[in-house]
Every structure is written in structure tokens, then in C-alpha cells.
Amino acid sequence: MAWVPLESADQLAELVALSHQTPVLFFKHSTRCSISTAAWGRMERGEAKLPANTTFVYLDLIRFRALSDALAQTFKVTHESPQVLLIHQGQCVYHASHFEIRPEYLPAIST
């Protein structure tokens, strides 16, 4: 699984535009949190259960907290850490945090 690091507001806009062609999954990761590390591991181990043809995006929210806030504002979800947001057609179709981050919980997206 290849994760694209999110590091700029311009890149965020490009990824939202991309979501009109293919789903985009954002993983907001706190490098200081053991729960976040556990959730990251579940996502990595559950790659086969993740939606096909999805672009996977990693956000280090310690380094890029402003981008985390931008995600929360753009998709009208409360900021949490760790957190996943599945974006399709420019809309957040699923989000979860903490122990609810499990690959098998993500909805299938037909493209």
C-alpha cells in the first residue's frame, strides 16, 4: 500500500478534485499517540479489505495541524486523532476515529 503524504493546502484541493474520479482516504495520524499507531497498523494489515481503486493519503497532524483543521472545516467533521475520512465525489461519505478505525468498516464505493 502506498500512502501519499499530505503536506500543503494546494495538494488538499487537488485530492478533493481527484475524489470525483476515485475515492480518497485520509488517515490523520498523531505520531505521539499509541492509539493512532495501533489504528495505523490495523489499516496496514487490512489492506485487502480497503476499497479498491482508492488513493490513500497520510497526514502527520503534529507537523501539519493546519491541514487537519482544513479537513475538518472542508468536510464539516469534528477534528479527532487518529481519524480517517473517506472522500468520494467531493463529499465525506465516511469518517471514524480511534478504535472505530478498521478497514472492514469502510463502505464499498462504486466508481
Instruction: Output the domain CATH number for residue 85.
Output: 3.40.30.10
Count Cβ atoms below 10 Å from residue 70 Cβ, excluding itself. 16
Residue 111: inside a domain: no
Residue 70: inside a domain: yes
Residue 76: inside a domain: yes
- pLDDT for 75 beyond 90: yes
Q: What does the pLDDT look like over 10-30, one tens digit per residue?
A: 999 999 999 999 999 999 999
Handedness of CA 34, 40, 44, 49 (dihedral sign): positive
Residue 78: inside a domain: yes
Residue 110: inside a domain: no
Percentage with pLDDT > 70 across the chain: 97
Contact predicate 21/76, CB 8 Å: no
Domain containing 27: what range?
Answer: 3-105
How many domains does the chain divide into? 1
Residue 19: inside a domain: yes
Residue 16: inside a domain: yes
Q: So what's the pLDDT on residue 5?
A: 96
- The CA angle 37-57-52, to the nearest 5 degrees, is 105
